[in-house]
Amino acid sequence: MRIQVVCLLLVLLTATVLTRDTKINQRYKKFINQHINENMDARSCDEEMKARKINIKKSMCKKINTFILASAEDVKYVCKKGEKVGKMTKSNRGFDIVVCNLKKQQGKRAKCQYHGEKLNNKKILIKCEKGFPVHYDGDIGYCDN
């Protein structure tokens, strides 16, 4: 009987850990989709936002979104070696970023139009969980060198 209880507890513990890791993995994939694009040009905000389906709801455009012009591994490294700032982590080195700002939203089914601006050598502020970036929190004010 004790062995069965111990086995049951191990199964429940394993399931809990796997569920938590799955959630982190899903948040990391969402982060990559929303914020990582190594080769993006500031003129391609409309296309990228649409292709990646980055919006608040189907009928609402996201007001601002930042793309980091680096590999997912380079950004993940920030979680390892960055500077802790409260619950966030700030990069030690600068990244080039493209900030996409909503110009206008048309119609019931959002047709979003963005103005992109490329900024060079900006430090980023991200939230990390278990060594993975899951939220971009930096803005231009935070990112000034």
Give catalytic residues, as residue numbers: 35, 135
Q: Residues near 137 by Cβ (< 8 Å), separated by ≥ 6?
A: 88, 125, 126, 127
What stretch of H or E contains 64? strand 64-68
Say how many CA atoms lie within 13 Å of 33 toward its Cβ. 13
Which tokens hold the place of 21?
A: 């890791």
3-state secondary structure 97-138: EEEEEEEEEECCCCEEEEEEEEEEEECCEEEEECCEEEEECC
